[in-house]
């Protein structure tokens, strides 16, 4: 069976702006194994056409490292939310405000929960459960009140830009370079996937093997220095260069125009039994 993963590329700043607008409206809403082994766009929309076929009796989140990575499995975005769930806003000072909203109710519950957490610099949701990066080094999962904390991971270097599912957590380590790591939650094994001397502007897993990541072009970095908004950029300026990396095969390459279909979706096929 082939699983075709189609990913539409959008402007990163546009998506962040759109997400902020949506939230405002709702509110006023390879594979090397070792403890840290050298072995993909958080701003990219994903549309998968065929669900993965899973023959193991174990749920994916209960599989050990070897079984989980014995085959390629598509990445599924589990940060979805529904009406009456909580959203979280991480402030520049590291505090966290929790919002509860309803599309049919104008009343908004806003609660500061950072006194339970410490200084938070990033978070994600997995089926409504928040996962926080605290003090730039530690990853924890909590309930909606910031309580019942479950320690997940700690890194000696600063980390940011977290994505997560029930099986995997991805984040970026910022040291002398920028490294994307993949943590298998069941086994607590962290794999270093790819490092870049350039700051990683965005990334997205395509499967448990493959990630796509981007870095800003020099011309875009020069434009950003002007302080202008992204929509004021000169016509034809290229914002970023994007790459594939497959931890199973070790393949790393730049994404080319031929990797997109006629509708502008990124073509990526997963071979499954």
Q: Which residues contact 185 (CB under 8 A, 6 or more apart)?
A: 61, 152, 166, 167, 168, 169
- Least confident segment among 6-10, 84-88, 196-200: 6-10
Mean pLDDT value across residues 69-82: 84
Determine the Cα–Cα distance for residues 221 and 143; give it in Å rounded to an integer.
Answer: 39
Cα of first residue to Cα of last residue in the chain, in angstroms, is: 5
pLDDT for the residue numbered 10? 40
pLDDT tens profile 14-24: 444 434 444 33
pLDDT band of residue 107 (cuts 50, 70, 90) is low
| CA neighbor of 99 nearest in space, from 61, 125, 66, 119 | 125
Better-scored residue on pLDDT, 114 or 207: 207
Residue 82, token pair as written in the block = 């529904």
pLDDT for the residue numbered 231? 84
| CA neighbor of 42 nearest in space, from 7, 86, 72, 73 | 7
Determine the Cα–Cα distance for residues 160 and 155; give it in Å rounded to an integer.
Answer: 11
Does residue 254 surpass a pLDDT of 80?
yes
pLDDT for the residue numbered 84? 52
Determine the Cα–Cα distance for residues 81 and 62; give it in Å rounded to an integer.
Answer: 23
Determine the Cα–Cα distance for residues 2 and 218; give it in Å rounded to an integer.
Answer: 37
Does residue 35 surpass a pLDDT of 70?
no
pLDDT band of residue 116 (cuts 50, 70, 90) is confident
Q: Could you identify the residue written with the tokens 């950029």?
A: 233
Does residue 256 surpass a pLDDT of 80?
yes
pLDDT for the residue numbered 245? 95
pLDDT for the residue numbered 267? 84
Are 75 and 207 in contact, with CB atoms under 8 Å apart?
A: yes
Determine the Cα–Cα distance for residues 210 and 208; give it in Å rounded to an integer.
Answer: 6
What's the Cα-to-Cα distance from 74 to each of 41, 238, 244, rounded to whole Å?
14, 29, 15
236: alpha, beta or left, given left = phi > 0 and alpha = psi -120 to 50? left
| CA neighbor of 123 nearest in space, from 114, 72, 41 | 114
Determine the Cα–Cα distance for residues 20 and 265; give it in Å rounded to an integer.
Answer: 24
Are 230 and 14 in contact, with CB atoms under 8 Å apart?
A: yes
What integer best gives the mean pLDDT of the chain? 79
pLDDT for the residue numbered 49? 34
Determine the Cα–Cα distance for residues 163 and 126; give it in Å rounded to an integer.
Answer: 9
Better-scored residue on pLDDT, 257 or 3: 257
pLDDT for the residue numbered 272? 60
Give the alpha-carbon dihedral of 71, 126, 210, 50, to 10 degrees: 60
Strand order in 252-254's β-sheet?
A: 200-205, 210-216, 240-246, 252-254
């Amino acid at each position: 069976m082939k699983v075709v993963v189609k990913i539409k590329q959008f402007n990163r700043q546009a998506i962040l702006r759109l997400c902020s607008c949506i939230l405002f409206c709702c509110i006023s809403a390879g594979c090397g194994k070792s403890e840290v082994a050298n072995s993909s766009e958080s701003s990219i929309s994903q549309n998968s056409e065929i669900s993965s076929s899973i023959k193991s009796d174990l749920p994916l989140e209960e599989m050990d490292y070897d079984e989980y990575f014995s085959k390629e499995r598509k990445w599924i975005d589990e940060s979805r939310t529904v009406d009456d769930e909580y959203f979280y806003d991480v402030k520049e000072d590291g505090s966290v405000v929790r919002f509860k909203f309803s599309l049919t109710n104008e009343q908004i519950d806003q609660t500061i929960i950072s006194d339970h957490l410490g200084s938070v610099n990033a978070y994600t949701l997995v089926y409504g459960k928040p996962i926080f990066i605290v003090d730039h080094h530690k990853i924890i999962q909590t309930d909606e009140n910031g309580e019942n904390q479950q320690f997940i991971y700690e890194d000696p270097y600063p980390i940011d830009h977290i994505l997560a599912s029930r099986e995997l957590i991805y984040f970026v380590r910022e040291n002398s370079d920028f490294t994307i790591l993949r943590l298998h939650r069941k086994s607590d094994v962290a794999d270093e996937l790819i490092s870049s001397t350039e700051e990683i502007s965005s990334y997205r897993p395509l499967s448990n093997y493959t990630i796509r990541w981007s870095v800003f072009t020099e011309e875009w970095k020069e434009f950003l220095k002007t302080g202008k908004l992204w929509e004021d950029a000169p016509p034809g300026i290229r914002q970023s260069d994007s790459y594939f990396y497959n931890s199973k095969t070790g393949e790393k390459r730049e994404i080319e125009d031929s990797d997109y279909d006629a509708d502008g979706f990124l073509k990526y096929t997963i071979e499954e039994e």
